[in-house]
Amino acid sequence: MEYRPYRPKDLDRCTDLAKEAWPIISRVADDQNALPFMRAYVKHNLALSDYAEVCCDGDRVLGFLMGYTKKQKHTPEQKRENSRIFRDVVRGRYGRVKKQRRLLLSLIISAVKVEILCARFDGEVLLFVVDEAYRGHGIGRAMLDRFLRYAAGQGLKTVYLSTDTESNWRFYERYGFTKYRDFYDNGLSVMTGKRMKSFIYYYPLQER
């Protein structure tokens, strides 16, 4: 296994992994549109990141982690890229999903909500996926270890993340993250058609 920085050529594979890890997208998009929408989602998180790493077996990406340490403020280029992605999604350049405008607004509301609730924490795990076929082999733990060491090296005290029942949230509890609180997830609720909660977890870095 090799751990290396994310490269632009990894986008297609990371998009495939994100779609497989988040099958709920199929509730609002058919196969033709789900993949482009997830591509926009990966690019959005990448634009927010100051840390992006993949785990590879040869040329095949088995997992990736994108994070933000908040030590480096988002650059004007990053902000412009995210604005461009959002405009392109609204215009349908990344496919169409059901209730598209409502869903986009709800996802923004959820993201703002998490940011406000987690203002006390330093860094964030933005997007973290391991190929389902390779889970249980220590790849996820190794990738998280590497990010947390990096965050600690940047002087951070805590790292947080948000997750939900559609994701492998138990992994974080086994790793040692502490549940901070539940919150009403607007985006997840629009996708499922029912009221859904998501969870915020945090991890102290003092001992790393």
pLDDT tens-place string over residues 84-107 = 998 988 888 888 888 888 988 999
Name which residue leads in pLDDT, 36 or 207: 36
Give the number of C-alpha atoms closer than 13 A to the C-alpha of residue 12, restricted to the C-beta side: 3
Strands 158-164 and 123-130 turn out to be parallel
The pLDDT, as a whole number, for residue 1 is: 87
Does the domain formed by 2-204 have CATH 3.40.630.30? Answer: yes
The tokens describing 75, both together, are 């650059």
Domain boundaries, the chain: 2-204
Name which residue leads in pLDDT, 185 or 166: 185
pLDDT in tens, 55-83: 999 999 999 999 999 766 677 888 788 88
- Range 111-136 average pLDDT: 94
pLDDT over 70 percentage in the chain: 98
The pLDDT, as a whole number, for residue 72 is: 62
- Label residue 34 left, alpha or beta by phi (over 0 means left) and psi (-120 to 50 means alpha): alpha
* DSSP string for residues in the chain: -EEEE--GGGHHHHHHHHHHH-GGGGGT--HHHHHHHHHHHHHHHHHH-SEEEEEEETTEEEEEEEEE-SSSPPPHHHHHHHHHHHHHHHTTBTB--TTHHHHHHHHHHHHHHHHHHTTT--EEEEEEEE-GGGTTSSHHHHHHHHHHHHHHHTT-SEEEEEEETTS-HHHHHHHT-EEEEEEE-HHHHHHHTS--EEEEEEEE-TT-
The pTM of the whole model exceeds 0.75:
yes
**Is the pLDDT assigned to residue 208 strictly greater than 60?**
no
- Range 172-191 average pLDDT: 94
Determine contact, residues 112/143, Cβ cutoff 8 Å: no
From 28-32, 115-119, 147-151, the region with the lowest mean pLDDT: 28-32
**Is the pLDDT assigned to residue 207 strictly greater than 70?**
no
From 21-30, 50-59, 131-140, 154-163, the region with the lowest mean pLDDT: 21-30
